[in-house]
Structure 1
Amino acid sequence: MRFFLFFLLISRVVIAQNTYPKDYFQSPLDIPMQLSGNFGELRPNHFHAGFDFKTLQREGLEVHAAADGYISRIKISPFGNGKAIYINHPNGITTVYCHLQKAVGIIDDYIKNAQYKAQSFEIELFPKANELEVKKGQLIALSGNTGSSEGPHLHFEFRDTKTEKVINPMFFGFDKNFKDTKKPIVSAVYVYPLDGTVANKSKQPLLLNLRLQADGSYLANKVLANGAIGFGITAVDYDNISMNRNGVYKVQSYLNGKAVFGYQFDTYGFDEMRYVNALIDYGRYKRTSQRVQKLFMKTPFGLSIIKTDEDNGIIKVLPNLNLSYRVEVADYFGNTTMITIPIAFDAASPVVEQEKVVSSYFVKAKKDNIFSKDNMTATFPAGTFYDDFAMNFVVNGNVLTVHDDSVPVHSSFEIAIESDKYSDDQKSKVYIANLSSSGKLGYNSTAVKGNLYTTKVRTLGKYTLAMDTTAPTISMAKPIEGCWITNEKSIQLSIADSGSGIKSYNGYLNGNWILFEYDAKTRKITYQFTNEFVAEGKNELKVVVTDQVGNSSVFETGFFRSQK
């Protein structure tokens, strides 16, 4: 059995690395490759789907098509991937280029024409195979910092065109562009007592001490337990080129030499992304920002990269039984860090008791759950959560507390609040808001039927009804009213909303709709001058900004410009 598991693991690695072409694709950038993020890295609510290439800490680097193909999708958004281009290749692979500053040439013209036709900056396009063909190495865009990017870089992905599963870029020959002789760093190992078990006199997760051995491996202090336990690690990896902390490629645990729980980041689907919250100790992450990767599953979940034994990585410590638990953490290049943890039975009473939540509301993760109190109801379909737990469900005045964000939510659930407080005229301005610890209100799209307000959300916490009657604000740092601005290349305004948030923004020059690009990070909209719609001499500008519940503001100004 042990040989069979080993054979399966080795075969899987060999197949994964030999299935994909090694010299078909080129780098999308002209500069040497340096990563600020690698494939499979643990991110908020998702695994990282590609490589983040450094771009010399600036925007505007040339981005090239990695191979022949055609542009199959274009998405422009102030959030997420920002400006993104997708290229389908004849070999069944799609490459993706994100956070772009702008497309170039006929691609940029294609996007602009579509935006003006839709009268929208935010747009998603699906060109036909013969519309935007590209050649390997062709300049398609300039690198940028758009969307939710936290600094200039190029996010680059490989996907299976048919299944849309993301694939580790290393499989396509990109490994030859890196040098990595460094072992992953395992900074912490935790033991998790499960189902009332005591481990090292504690019913709560406990940090283990690690001692470096002469062969470069680590030995943890012995775990003394009397029942079911699991383990978790925090691990990062570095290469020889950049100083960025990246994720590890492979984790595998063994019990007395038998493989019991492991995963490696080869390929996975987008519908699996949120399982990152089940893989990590989510509660600890929310409290401390530390991501502990669990090497067990109390309740199995559908992350395809996990390979486990019949006990899902949970170890049962019984009397008269000494066990040896080993964890191996590796990067793509085979550099491996090994930790050995001796385990023995011990019937000692706990010194540290388990934290208890006293509640009349108990969630069964695999069943539908509906909890109501006073005028408020929360409905949780089966599969909303990963594990069973006692929920703190409290109504205090006009605030509903649905536990807290220490428990991960996999899929959306419904909040319903009944209230006769608002008139028919006011109801369109009312929404169910999530309430932060600082008292800040967050908007959720809300349906109203009679006096019942409902919304779908994906985070536990506090919720209440809120009404927004305040219009957005529009301002210009340097007013242009009555000024000649012939030499200016653009017009920029700041837009903001203190209530439900901005829904739309539209600009009109001399009565014609014009394209304002929105940067959500800076809350600025920018119009780049073209000769179209600009009059010789006097021009009239109008900007309309509307929030999520329909409050609008209008900004108008006049300026002079010469086209000669």
Structure 2
Amino acid sequence: MFSITKLGQPVKIPISLSGTFAELRSDHFHGGIDIKGTVGTPVYAVEDGFLYKLESKGTGYGNVIYIKHKNGYMSIYGHLSAFNTPFEEHYYKEAKKYKKSNFSVYFKKDEILVKKGDIIGEIGNTGFSFGPHLHYEIRDLKHNKQVNPLFFSVNVKDCSPPEWTALKLIYVDENRVSRSERFVQLNKNEYFKVDTLDLLVGKSALAAQVFDGMEGNNNRNGVYQLKMYVDGKLHFHFLAGKIDLEESKYANALIDYKENKLSKDIFYRCYRLPGNNLKSFKHLQNDGYFNVKYGKITNIDVEALDYAGNYSRKRIAIRGIKGYLPSLPFHNKYVYRNVDNQLKTYFIEVNIPKGAVYQNIPFMYREINERRRETFSRIHSVHNDNEPLHKDIFLSIRSGIIPDYLREKAFISGCNQQGKYINYGGKWRKNFLEGQVDKFGEFSIMIDTIPPTIKDLSLVGRGKKGILQFHLSDNVDLPDQMDYPFFKVTLNGQWIRMRSDSKSGIISGHLPVDLKKGKYEIKITSWDKMKNINHYTKLFTVWK
């Protein structure tokens, strides 16, 4: 393991965090810490090692550097505005060879050595980032884990305790399905609070909305530790120390997924769903569930801690009462987490494999009685997207009448949170289009014959200061986080490197520094997954 005394700082500015390790993010735990900064602030290698990978994308970590160190550790520096000059030259050489702008370049062991304290890049806002910062991450390659970088003596000043916003009391049935919920709003200025609340007799659980703040920082970061005590005994303990890379999707089981979908609020479940095999639970009594008894008072204490040792605590008292259990919403059947499940009608087959859901769920399927001009099948509502999936499920949808020449343009379509169609692909089996999807929701067969749109081309200056910029978009998205639609840019037939920004759809890049007097043609080619292609050409003249 790294010697803490020898591990350097990734930046030489006062460190304030806009994101903490193992925060609950969409479909994953945050794998590092986010250090606030301004674009152009130098970033330093934290230890001796060798360059393992350079990557430049419009999504994910954007411009990112991977450095391998001794003893099987790797440090990662993401969302950079630029690599240092030697790294940039190596990257450009390989990208030009393969004529790819969004590209990953790998290096052999000790091919390019890095010394502790070397400037390797600059803070930026590239990739899936919404403000300038450095994503700093440490991985234990031997055990395939992301490790909290604060273990390695990052200089963070933090005197603020975590702040509580709300608690949610949840009554569950014999399948541990939520049947009723009660919200408890908390006053963050009160250190300790006692309330007596009525709750139905039986098995219950608790979810907590709590975040970690820092001085001079309005970000609501994730907490380092979360504990729950029932009548003075530890019942639940989560610690954000290490996350197995293969377990990151269990974030969907630790977060109250439905609440987050509906309100965007983040609640930690202080209990373990049956299919949540995360190893970051340090203690679980009865999986975090507790029994509420008639007429008796149960005291619940919750405690949150940050890495600096600041903590805050809340208490509620629960009294058991008798009452009527709310009925379950309409459902066709139960889907069980520990077996393969299948639903079959004349128009669709749905296969939900073992381990795809985190608990047994009352499953709802229906056909949507609506005709949409762009669909070539019936529209199928497969449960709802408020329920998370840990594995892909498999769909086979019967098509309507599709001409033979359009069958290669057909795909299984879903819909994202912004209301845009998603291309899940698919393969034909007679009149059925088969594929797999990573979420519940509405699905149908669609045809895509529309090429990507290229617009707003601008050309400013030439040489080192010459910048080419245009906007690229497509009518359909892909489910994976990747640069899309695909593109290639040439100048008089020669490839030139461009950078993409998935947030804005803007593609930009510098013209070659050695442009001479003469006429030039810029050609942009863009294509989508269904091989619909668009070309855009612009002529310009260099006069001197």
1:323 aligns with 2:298: yes
Cα shift readout 1:303-349 (whole Å, capped 9, x = no counterpart): 11113445111112345754333221111122221222334443x22
Report deviation, 1:210.
5.2
| Alignment counterpart, residue 441 of structure 1, candidates 413, 421, 430 | 421
5 Å-filtered alignment, 1:28-427, equals 28-56=10-38, 59-174=39-154, 177-195=155-173, 204-208=180-184, 216-318=191-293, 322-346=297-321, 348-350=322-324, 353-354=325-326, 356-396=328-368, 398-419=378-399, 421-427=401-407
* Kept in 2: contact 1:179–1:241 (CA 8 A): no
User: Aligned partners of 2:96, 2:47: CA distance in 1, in Å?
Assistant: 30
- Conserved 8 A contact 2:458-2:470: no
Deviations 1:444-473 (A, max 9, x none): 222234432122211111011111111222
Which of 508, 517, 527 pairs up with 1:526? 508
Q: Is the 8 A contact 2:228 2:301 kept in 1?
A: yes
Partner of 2:541: 560
C-alpha separation between the residues in 1 aligned to 2:186 and 2:486?
54
Distance 2:414 2:494 in 1: 38
Q: Say whether the 8 Å CA contact 2:144–2:244 is kept in structure 1.
A: yes
Equivalent residues of 2:463, 2:512 under 8 A apart: no
Q: Distance in 2 between matches of 1:99 and 1:181?
A: 28
For residues 367-409 of structure 1, the C-alpha deviation after alignment (integer angstroms, 9 at most, x for no partner) is 1111122221221111111011111111235101011111111
CA distance in 1: counterparts of 2:447 and 2:193, whole angstroms: 57
Alpha-carbon shift at residue 74 of structure 1 (Å) = 2.2
Change (3 A) 1:148 1:86: same
Distance (Å, rounded) in 2 between the aligned partners of 1:235 and 1:288? 15
**Matching of residue 548 in structure 1 with residue 529 in structure 2:** yes
One-letter code of the match for 1:356? L
RMSD between superposed Cα atoms in Å: 2.6
**In the alignment, what sits opposite 1:474?**
454
1:223 CA drift (Å):
4.4
1:455 alignment partner in structure 2:
435
Supply the distance in 1 between the matched residues of 2:167 and 2:368 (Cα, whole angstroms): 40
Candidates 481, 492, 504, aligned match of 1:510: 492
**CA separation of 1:479 and 1:490: change in aligned 2, threshold 3 A:** closer
CA distance in 1, matches of 2:136, 2:196: 42
- After alignment, is 81-90 or 488-497 more displaced? 488-497
Instruction: Tell me, in whole angstroms, the C-alpha distance in 1 between the residues paired with 2:534 and 2:472.
Output: 10
Displacement after TM superposition at 1:224 (Å)? 4.4
For 2:488, what is the secondary structure of its paired residue?
strand
**Matching residue's letter, 1:422:** I
Identity over the aligned pairs, expressed in percent?
Answer: 27
Residues 162-218 of structure 1 deviation map (CA, whole Å, 9 limit, x = unaligned) = 2231111111111xx223222211111121111179xxxx9511123658999x322
Q: Which runs of 5+ in 2 are unaligned?
A: 370-377, 479-483
> What is aligned with 2:481?
none
- C-alpha separation between the residues in 2 aligned to 1:209 and 1:409? 29
Deviations 1:120-146 (A, max 9, x none): 112223211221111111111122111
* DSSP-derived class of the 1:557 partner: strand
Distance 1:541 1:21, change over 3 A: same
CA contact (8 A) 1:223 1:341 kept: no
3-state SS in 2 of match to 1:238: strand
User: Aligned equivalents of 1:500 and 1:247: distance in 2?
Assistant: 30
- Give me the TM-score of the superposition, normalised by structure 1: 0.88
CA–CA separation in structure 1 for the residues paired with 2:133 and 2:416:
31
The alpha-carbon distance between structure 1 residues 30 and 399, as it changes in their structure 2 partners (threshold 3 A), is same
For 1:436 and 1:102, locate their aligned partners in 2 and report how far apart those are by CA, in whole Å: 31
> C-alpha deviations, 1:81-105, integer Å up to 9, x for none?
1111111112432110001122122
Q: Distance in 1 between matches of 2:486 and 2:44?
A: 32
Q: Which residue of 1 aligns with 2:373?
A: none
CA-to-partner distance for each residue in 1:405-446, whole Å, 9 max, x for gaps?
111111111121122521221011111111468864222222
Question: In 2, distance between residues paired with 1:420 and 1:226?
Answer: 51
Distance in 1 (CA, whole Å) between partners of 2:413 and 2:112 is 43
Residue type at the aligned position of 2:506: K
Q: 1:125 to 1:440 in 2, by over 3 A?
A: closer
Structure 1 gaps, min length 5: 1-18
User: Is it true that 1:498 corresponds to 2:488 in the alignment?
Assistant: no
Note the C-alpha offset of 1:298. Answer: 4.3
User: Match of 2:286, SS?
Assistant: coil
Cα deviation 1:9-56 (Å, max 9, x = unaligned): xxxxxxxxxx75322222222221111111122212222111111113
TM-score, normalised by the number of residues in structure 2: 0.91
- Residue 507 of structure 1 contacts residue 543 of structure 1 at CA under 8 Å; is this kept in 2? yes
1:228 is paired with a residue of what secondary structure?
strand
d(CA) in 2 for partners of 1:478, 1:517: 15
> What is the SS of the residue equivalent to 2:135?
strand
Amino acid at match of 1:180: D
Matches within 5 A, 1:478-489: 478=458, 485=462, 488-489=465-466
Secondary structure at 2:11 match in 1:
coil
The whole-number CA distance in structure 2 between the counterparts of 1:127 and 1:486 is 30
Residue type of the partner of 1:448? W
Give the paired residue count: 530
Q: Secondary structure at the match of 1:23?
A: helix
**Compared CA separation, residues 121 and 181, structure 1 to 2 (3 A):** same
Separation (CA, whole Å) in 2 of partners of 1:184 and 1:476? 46
Question: Is residue 520 of structure 2 the alignment partner of residue 539 of structure 1?
Answer: yes
AA aligned opposite 2:349? T
Distance in 1, matches of 2:188 and 2:399, equals 62
Q: Which residue of 2 aligns with 1:5?
A: none
